[in-house]
Amino acid sequence: MTPFKLSEELIDEIKQLIETGSDKKLKKLFDEYHFADIAEIINEIDTIEAGTYIIKLLDSELTSEVLTELEEDLREGILSNLTAKEIAIEIAELDTDDAADIVAELPKNMLKKVILNIDDREHAQDIVDLLRYDENSAGGLMAKELVKVSADWTVTKCIKEMRAQAENVTRVHSIYVVNEKEELIGRLSLKDLLTTPARANIKEVYIPKVDYVNVHDKPEEVANIMSKYDLEAIPVVDEIGRLVGRITIDDIVDVIKEEAEKDYQLAAGIAQDVDTNDSILEHTKARIPWLFLGLVGGFGAALIMGGFESLLSDHAVLFFFTPLIAAMAGNVGVQSSAIIVQGLAYENIKGSNLSRLIKELLLALLNGTILSIILMVLTWMWKGDLLISLSISISLITVTVTAGIIGTFIPLLLHKRGIDPAIATGPFITTSNDIFGILIYFFIAKTILGI
Amino acid sequence: MTPFKLSEELIDEIKQLIETGSDKKLKKLFDEYHFADIAEIINEIDTIEAGTYIIKLLDSELTSEVLTELEEDLREGILSNLTAKEIAIEIAELDTDDAADIVAELPKNMLKKVILNIDDREHAQDIVDLLRYDENSAGGLMAKELVKVSADWTVTKCIKEMRAQAENVTRVHSIYVVNEKEELIGRLSLKDLLTTPARANIKEVYIPKVDYVNVHDKPEEVANIMSKYDLEAIPVVDEIGRLVGRITIDDIVDVIKEEAEKDYQLAAGIAQDVDTNDSILEHTKARIPWLFLGLVGGFGAALIMGGFESLLSDHAVLFFFTPLIAAMAGNVGVQSSAIIVQGLAYENIKGSNLSRLIKELLLALLNGTILSIILMVLTWMWKGDLLISLSISISLITVTVTAGIIGTFIPLLLHKRGIDPAIATGPFITTSNDIFGILIYFFIAKTILGI
């Protein structure tokens, strides 16, 4: 199968077919595509009308999955065009985790009507159960669909029950074993089950070692565990150890991507989660807070320079290097903080925080010294004033070391306080380092030049 | 199972046990742990001696997987302490993809010896096959282990063959169907196979629709396809459509993480892939190129300011705002480029490049105008000189718009040329924007002030 590729021609053709109400042709066209492709098409056309038309036209078996992949605004708009009954039919086709994510977005009274309209009452109950978990937790990620057997069943009973349960489970990843209190006590491989005598008890064959997470664990923790142990699914237990759901790797792939995207955007000075396709207003809201911070930092730097105005007449050249000092302080700080933030995210920081700080200090000292020697030569060649060159170069070393320490210390501190260290990267570190950098610079220059 | 947590006490205990040669106690201790935990312990102790001791002590069934998770330097050191026969025993336990990754790191003559020492000749052949693919391609990621059936087999023969093949496959993800030319023509679900009459032919029941990738596809493309279609495994075909391997989601999770890490580090001005635990020298090598670029940018800015030295006597305040102008140009450029780089990475940029540029231009104009008004008020309050305030503010708008355009244009251009746009983010954009920013600033100021 050649991979699906969006083209302007395809979009135009579909728009045309919708306008002329060529339902048959549309159905035939969409029949070729995967639900993720159809979602991509609707996201690209990007009008609620076209989206509603396509969703109403196609079979709910297909459209339910399409809904899960639509952009939030678009989905909200399309759902507002459907009746509670129509939404319930879509929801009925989805796994409980995706279903819960969608109904959670509905207005309260609509949510209630939709739940009441779901024919399968057990499915409805499962969805309602999931709604009470925080979105940002293992409970918020998990689905209720899983294959669960009791330790004191025989293999025969187990296989019979499993057949019934597996009906609702798209892919059987693992069979989980619980005791009479519904507590997770182990797992079972399909292979073992099939090679064990039919009358044997599950308790004789199950594997008592099983990785699991707690409903309240953070998605990042779940992602770290699943990726470390190469798991394709992990069971979720509640506060007293009862098996309540399972999380599959495809949801975790989304978590890993979102986390990486968020950290990347924060490092680039973008405060909210936006992508290229969001509106200009949303982008302004996401970007201007950090730019404002940069403005404050720059104005602070200007005020400091104003305070040293008396140096201007004799040592104007000092002022020419303020952008360099500020930029280097920012760059070094961002490098240090990025390494720490990434180490914290992937939980692979070795040794104590103190040893970490000392390492970044030595690193900044090494980098600062190399760069200072280069700058010393460059400034001396330009102006031929040794004291000025010395002032600038010694400042650069000092500023580099300070920036490295700040860049290391702040994310470690935030992490210890339970705040996401990623907010410290980018403009925050840059701005504070700008101000510190220029302050240090002028003090050192004043001392060396003996003014 | 409570999750494994590294502690200093545990590391000390293990070091102690190794020193006193308490092999029984060590074996008992490690028996509790997952291979990923044991690898974490060896990585933390971080000496080749301790690593070799543990690898030699434990069973190859366990240690082969431990080897795959070790840091490269450590693994290289440990393997150099093993004989070709010992390495071959470890390799024999691994899936072909992991095995190929490890032997590829060996010195050429050792590689040959290890391959010759693998008892299972078919396994050895598969590993050699994989060695010829570029590491940075689907071929370099895939494993040879898969369940493959022929279209003209009966269901009975198919089940029998599958049993034999499945022995070597840890998890059966999908059954792939090939024709007499070994070309991939479809897939089969386990469910369908079990509910079909035994004498039926596979060609009557298989699903002719199957997602696949080509051996030469880039890992990022594979990751995008698998994550878009929520696949847990995908078959790989060669240039003429023959089924040659399969890629599983756990390898793709690693690709996604590495890609995100690389982009993040590039944005933060770190040129090579390093983590917190790498040496100071490695960090210097990774960080100093960008810092040097920053130094050149800063020196360039200083030269420009030197060229406008005549303005100093009457308009010194202009010089105080150079760090602000440079910083804002850098920040806006980084924001724009980050959004574009991310959009390109996840292939979710809508519309043409031109519309993208116009959007970023409008966005920069909006942000620039808001910030300029704030700066206008601040500078006027500080100095009370309307023309100076106007010069600085108009410069800020102009610089913001220019920076937004450069930040959008450069990554799009690099991408079009087949170069990873992520290298454009961070210091590269910052540095060029610093210089452009200050140049624009002084020209506008000169014009407005009529000097």
Chain B window 165-204: which residues touch A at a Cβ cutoff of 8 Å? 171
Which domain does B235 fall in, by range?
A: 147-248
Assess whether B91 and B163 both reside in one domain.
no
Task: Give the DSSP H/E element, type plus range, for residue B35.
Answer: helix B35-45
Beta bridge partners of A168: none
Task: Provide, as residue numbers in chain B, all residues whose Cβ is less than 8 Å from the Cβ of A426.
Answer: 334
Residues A95-105, mean pLDDT to the nearest whole number: 94
Question: Which A residues, 291 through 320, put their C-beta within 8 Å of a C-beta on chain B?
Answer: 291-292, 294-295, 297-299, 301-303, 305-306, 309, 312, 316-317, 319-320
Q: Is A323 in the same domain as A423? A: yes
Q: What is the mean pLDDT of residues B93-103?
A: 94
Tokens for B7, please give them.
Answer: 């502690």
pLDDT value at residue A3 = 66
Residues A416, A310, single domain; the answer is yes
* Predicted pLDDT at B60: 86
Within 8 A of A303 by CB-CB distance, chain B residues are 320, 382
Instruction: Return phi, psi of residue B247, to 5°.
Output: -115, 135
pLDDT higher than 60, residue A352: yes
pLDDT band at A169 (very low <50, low <70, confident <90, very high): low
CB nearest to A327's CB, from B44, B316, B434:
B434
* Domain assignment of residue A124, yes or no: yes
The verdict on A317 and A404 lying in the same domain is yes
User: Residue B394 domain-assigned?
Assistant: yes
Contact check, Cβ <8 Å, B265/A378: no
pLDDT in tens, B43-61: 989 899 999 999 999 988 8
Does position A1 have pLDDT exceeding 60, yes or no? no
**Residue A382 near chain B (CB below 8 Å):** yes
Q: For position B23, which CATH number holds? A: 1.25.60.10
- For residue A262, what is the DSSP state? H
**Count of CA atoms in the C-beta half-sphere (13 A) of B425:** 29
- Asked which of A138, A155, A178 is the last residue of a domain, the reply is A138
List strands edge to edge, sheet with B147-150. B147-150, B175-178, B184-188
Instruction: Give the per-residue pLDDT at B117.
Output: 95
On whether residue B2 sits in a domain, the answer given is: no
CA angle A55, A59, A63 (to 5 degrees): 45
Instruction: Taking each helix axis as running N to C, give the angle between helix B280-307 and helix B427-449, from 0 to 180 degrees, rounded to the nearest 10.
Output: 10
d(CA B358, CA B355): 5
The domain that holds A169 is classified in CATH as 3.10.580.10
The alpha carbon of residue A381 and the mean position of all alpha carbons in its chain are separated, in whole angstroms, by 49
What would the mean pLDDT of A213-234 be, rounded to a whole number?
Answer: 92
Residue A3 resides in a domain: no
A126 lies in the same domain as A161: no
In angstroms, rounded to a whole number, what is the distance separating the alpha carbons of residues B445 and B451? 9
pLDDT at B324 over 70: yes
Q: Are residues A174 and A134 in the same domain?
A: no
A209-221 pLDDT per residue, tens: 899 999 999 998 9
pLDDT at B204: 87
CA A295 to each of CA A306, B66, B166, B268, B327: distance values in angstroms, whole numbers, following the listed order: 16, 50, 63, 20, 8
Residues 97-156 of B with CB under 8 A from A: none
pLDDT band at B367 (very low <50, low <70, confident <90, very high): very high
- Residue B153: CB atoms within 10 A of its CB come to 17
Record: contact B322-A325, CB cut-off 8 A: no
Do the Cβ atoms of B302 and A323 come within 8 Å?
Answer: yes
Tally of domains within chain B = 3
- Is residue B108 a contact partner of residue B84, using CB atoms and an 8 Å limit? no
**Exposure b/e, A395-406, CB count within 10 A at least 16 = b:** bbbbbbbbbbbb
Spatial separation of the C-alpha atoms in residues A256 and A271, rounded to whole Å = 18
| C-alpha distance from A88 to closest chain B C-alpha (Å) | 24
Mean pLDDT of A79-95: 94
Please report whether residue A410 resides in a domain. Answer: yes
Residue A388 has pLDDT above 80, yes or no: yes
Q: How far apart (Å, rounded) are the C-alpha atoms in residues A253 and B222?
A: 13
CA distance A370 to A368: 6
Q: Is the Cα torsion angle B349, B350, B353, B355 positive or negative in sign? A: negative
Q: Give, rounded to a whole angstrom, the gap between the first and last alpha carbons of chain B.
A: 76
Q: How far apart are CA B88 and CA B124, in angstroms?
A: 9
* CA dist list (Å): A242 to A134, A147, A204, A239, B172: 18, 14, 21, 7, 29
Q: For residue B310, what is the nearest residue in chain A, using CA coordinates?
A: A316
| Cβ A208 vs Cβ A186: under 8 Å | yes
pLDDT digits (tens, 9 = 90+) for B185-202: 999 877 677 667 778 888
Q: Is B118 helix (H, G, I), strand (E, B) or coil?
A: coil
* Widest pairwise Cα distance in chain B: 98
Burial of B171 (0-12, 13-18, 19+ CB in 10 A): middle
Amino acid at B312: L
Asked if the Cβ–Cβ distance from A366 to B280 is below 8 Å, we say yes
Q: What is the pairing mode between strands A184-188 and A175-178?
A: antiparallel
Whole-angstrom Cα distance, residue B333 to residue A35? 36
Contact B363 A295 (CB under 8 A): no
Do both B376 and B298 map to the same domain?
Answer: yes
Q: What is the pLDDT of residue A106?
A: 95
Give the C-alpha separation, A411 to B56, whole Å: 40
Closest CA to B37 of A224, A316, A256, A371: A224
For residues B304 and B442, is the Cβ–Cβ distance under 8 A?
yes
Query: Environment class of residue B39 by beta-carbon count within 10 Å: exposed (0-12), middle (13-18) or buried (19+)?
Result: buried
Residue with tokens 């035994």: B198
Which of the 8 DSSP states describes residue B183?
Answer: B
**B285 and B221 together in one domain:** no
Q: What is the pLDDT of residues A256-300, one digit of tens each?
A: 888 888 888 888 888 777 877 788 888 899 899 889 998 999 999
- Count of other CB atoms within 10 angstroms of residue A281: 10
Q: Do A171 and B232 touch (CB under 8 A)?
A: yes
Query: For residue B350, what are the CA distances in angstroms to A202, B207, B354?
Result: 54, 33, 11
Question: Which residues lie closer than 8 Å to A416 by C-beta, 6 or more apart?
Answer: none
B260 found inside a domain: no
Percent of chain B with pLDDT over 90: 55
Looking at the fold, whether B64 and B126 belong to one and the same domain comes out as yes
Give the residue from A68, A173, A322, A353 with the most B CB atoms within 10 Å of its CB, the best one to mutate: A322
Angle at B347 between CA B343 and CA B351, to 5 degrees: 75
Say whether pLDDT at B76 is over 80: yes
Domain boundary among B203, B230, B248: B248
Task: Please give the full DSSP string across B292-303, using - where no structure is assigned.
Answer: HHHHHHHHHHHH
Is A331–B267 a contact, with Cβ atoms under 8 angstroms apart?
no
Distance in angstroms (rounded) separating the CA atoms of residues B98 and B35: 14
Query: Which residue among A264, A324, A334 places its CB closest to the CB of B299?
Result: A324
Average pLDDT over chain B, rounded to an integer: 89
> For B139-198, how does the pLDDT look when each residue is reduced to its tens digit (9 = 90+)?
999 999 888 889 989 888 887 777 777 666 656 667 899 999 999 999 987 767 766 777
- What would the DSSP string read from start to end of B327-373? HHHHHHHHHHHHHHHHHHHTT---S-HHHHHHHHHHHHHHHHHHHHH
Q: B66: nearest CA in chain A?
A: A229
- Cα three-residue angle B235-B237-B240, rounded to 5 degrees: 160
B238/B352 Cα distance (integer angstroms): 33
- A251 token code pair: 């949801």
Rounded to 10°, the helix A386-416/A427-449 angle is 150
Distance between CA B22 and CA B16 in Å, rounded? 9
d(CA B48, CA B81): 9
B3 found inside a domain? no
Instruction: State the Cα–Cα distance between residues B254 and B252, nearest whole angstrom.
Output: 5
Q: Which residues of chain A lie closer than 8 angstroms to B212, CB-CB?
A: 1
Burial class (CB in 10 A: 0-12, 13-18, 19+), B403: buried
Q: Across the interface, do B277 and A349 touch by the CB < 8 Å criterion?
A: yes
Last residue of a domain, one of B102, B124, B140: B140
In 3D, which of B296, B268, B295 has the Cα closest to residue A396? B295
Q: What is the pLDDT of residue B230?
A: 87
Q: Kindly determine whether residue A367 and residue B287, on different chains, have CB atoms separated by under 8 Å.
A: yes
Q: How far apart are CA B255 and CA A257, in angstroms?
A: 11
Q: What pLDDT does residue A170 have?
A: 58
Residues of chain A above pLDDT 70, percent: 95
Least confident of A5-9, A47-51, B160-164: B160-164
Q: Do A299 and A398 share a domain, yes or no?
A: yes
Paired residues of A172 in beta bridges = none
How much is the ipTM here?
0.80
Please indicate, yes or no, if residue B271 is contained in any of the structural domains: no
Whole-number Å distance between alpha carbons of A25 and A17? 7
| The pLDDT value given to residue B166 | 62
Angle between helices B322-345 and B353-383 (to 10 degrees): 160
Instruction: Give burial (CB, 10 Å; 0-12/13-18/19+) of B198.
Output: exposed
The residue in chain B having the minimum alpha-carbon distance to the alpha carbon of residue A435 is B323
Judgement on whether residues A24 and A59 belong to the same structural domain of the protein: yes
Q: Are residues A296 and A445 in the same domain?
A: yes
Each residue's pLDDT tens digit, B101-118: 999 999 999 999 999 999
